[in-house]
A and B are shown apart, each in its own frame.
Chain A
Amino acid sequence: MESIELKHLWKEYGNNIVLEDISISVKSGEFITLVGASGCGKTTFLKLLLGIETASRGQMLLDGKPLKDEPDKHRGIVFQRYSVFPHLNVIENVMLGEEFELSPLLGRTFGKKRREIRQHALAILKRVGLEDSVHKYPSELSGGMQQRLAIAQALIKNPSILLLDEPFGALDPGIRADMHKLILDIWEETKITIFMITHDLKEGFHLGTRLLVFDKYRIDPHQPNRYGATITYDIPVGNTDNRTLTEITSSMLKEE
């Protein structure tokens, strides 16, 4: 199975160190939640995993092979917003991934191929509970439904890793609970490796199998960017004592 190995990863912009010396090894099928104060590098970390930022130093290996430094179909993503295409209706949004693969020139399929893709897309839409909105455009969907669509869209490519960048941050609490159930069910069925950023520690503990906390060990008050953030806690979810919890909470609420 696909394991992910990160070795001594650094991300610097000139003198500004964002991430320092991150090493972590992730087994296939883990559900990892990332928490930390804003500006502490968890988004940069996700961008490195996604391939839209390149590490200054260090290695990222998927099954022993370096991860490409541009986005590809092995890594699915759901952003907080703009994850779906406004000019395509629900089913077209989901079909798109397969159409790219089968039609390099037009990115569009016809006839029998199209019907097969459609069946596949319908099955996935049913899985995320959007079977009644197949012909709607994204702007006709509620925020929660748009995120369901974004997840369905990513699933059609069977990615090895699913990256979620605060996917439920903009949703109402009730809808958020539904989405938690959905993502946990999908994770159990597909055994996909998930990395999810959240600013909600409770969400992090509830969903993941492993929680990573990003923070800076050292701070130079005269040069706040002299030291970068790193993983300060790497906790298997389920055995956390209250003291650790309080410590993490205070590190997340810390002023920049």
Chain B
Amino acid sequence: MKRLINQYPNRKGKILLGLIPFILFLGLYVFASHERLAVNENDKLMPALTTIVDAVSKMAFEPSKRTGEYLMLSDTTASLTRLGIAVCISALISLIVGILTGIIPKLRASISPVVTTVSLIPPLAILPILFIIFGLGEVSKIMLIVLGITPFLIRDTQLRVMELPEEMIIKAQTLGANSWQVIIRVILPQILPKLIDALRLSLGSAWLFLIAAEAISSTEGLGYRIFLVRRYLSMDIILPYVVWITILAFAMDYLLRKLSRSVFPWQLVPKGEG
């Protein structure tokens, strides 16, 4: 028998080991829910799986009696649209500002202090200001996410640009490149995959700001629904919605990773020998 530190699971074993905690957790939930319902059959805190499945099928596959919409679908579309627009705007701003401040020292001197200051403002603290300025509609929610994640993305992009080996920038200049050509042919293509990585990291905060904004003022959206049904202690809807949001977040992360690998294949090429 090898030492524990030298034992590695094979592929199947790895999947199995990864699943164990989830299965255990589910089993624990079913057991606890069963015990609670046995004591009080009207208990709302831990609904049985069957109740949850019923609630989900009602939300997802039956049109709402009031509006005729499939609620889970319209909630998902509304939330993802806000998130998508906000993330695209943030990515674009941080790409432009991050690259420019990273490579042009005078711009960095002028803009970096502002970005740092803005990044220290807690975005939720200025949510009321956003509501006052942009109204209670879509713009203020998107603005909250943009304000929340852009400063981080700008600072990260700027750092990544400054981390590029100086030799490369010098080499480009000896090949006759002007500042603009250095930016679009040398820096931009090398920074894009790093921006995607930063985006993946900032998705968590983006969701946080989205749900916060939806909870306060909205008429549809995943966050709105959770906070709406909270009034009726509808755990049978809240729990699957939380799971659904997690799945969506996971899927976005996965897609971004795949995108980065397929669009920028040079990152993955194995190292050559000596």
B170 touches which one: A50, A139, A142 (CB < 8 A)? A50
CB contact under 8 A between A139 and B269, given known A87-B264, A100-B185: yes
A70:B181 contact, CB within 8 angstroms: no
Chain A positions 109-164 with a Cβ under 8 Å from a chain B Cβ: 136-137, 139-143, 145-146, 150, 153-154, 156-157, 159
CB contact under 8 A between A73 and B272, given known A104-B181, A107-B184, A139-B266: no
Q: Across the interface, name the chain A residue whose C-beta is closest to B189.
A: A87
Nearest CB of chain B from residue A176's CB, rounded to whole Å:
12
B266:A157 contact, CB within 8 angstroms: no
A157:B175 contact, CB within 8 angstroms: yes
A153:B184 contact, CB within 8 angstroms: no
Give per-residue flags for B132-176: 1 if the beta carbon is below 8 A from chain A beta carbons, else 0. Answer: 000000000000000000000000000000000101101111111
Say whether A196 faces chain B, with CB atoms less than 8 Å apart. no
B167:A82 contact, CB within 8 angstroms: yes
Nearest CB of chain A from residue B191's CB, rounded to whole Å:
10
CB contact under 8 A between A71 and B170, given known A104-B178, A139-B269, A139-B270: yes
Chain B positions 215-232 with a Cβ under 8 Å from a chain A Cβ: none
Say whether B41 faces chain A, with CB atoms less than 8 Å apart. no
B174:A154 contact, CB within 8 angstroms: yes
How many interface contacts (CB-CB < 8 Å) are there between A and B? 99
A101:B170 contact, CB within 8 angstroms: no
B175:A106 contact, CB within 8 angstroms: no
Q: Across the interface, name the chain B residue whose C-beta is closest to A80.
A: B167
Chain A residues within an 8 Å CB radius of B174: 50, 71-73, 75-77, 154, 157, 159
Q: What is the number of residues of chain B that contact chain A, defined by CB distance less than 8 Å?
A: 28
Chain B residues within an 8 Å CB radius of A219: none
Nearest CB of chain B from residue A202's CB, rounded to whole Å:
21
B185 touches which one: A108, A139, A142, A159 (CB < 8 A)? A108
A100:B181 contact, CB within 8 angstroms: yes
B contact patch SS: helix
Nearest CB of chain A from residue B1's CB, rounded to whole Å:
40
Chain A positions 51-95 with a Cβ under 8 Å from a chain B Cβ: 52, 70-73, 75-77, 79, 81-89
CB contact under 8 A between A72 and B167, given known A104-B178, A107-B184, A142-B272: no
Say whether A178 faces chain B, with CB atoms less than 8 Å apart. no
Chain B residues within an 8 Å CB radius of A29: none
Give per-residue flags for B50-81: 1 if the beta carbon is below 8 A from chain A beta carbons, else 0. Answer: 00000000000000000000000000000000
A172:B274 contact, CB within 8 angstroms: yes
In the complex, 12 of the A-B residue pairs with CB atoms within 8 angstroms, ordered by the A residue number, are A71-B174, A77-B170, A77-B171, A97-B175, A100-B175, A104-B181, A105-B180, A107-B181, A139-B266, A141-B272, A145-B272, A159-B174
Beyond A104-B180, A137-B269, A150-B171, 7 extra complex contacts between A and B, CB < 8 Å: A87-B190, A96-B185, A108-B185, A139-B270, A139-B271, A154-B174, A172-B274
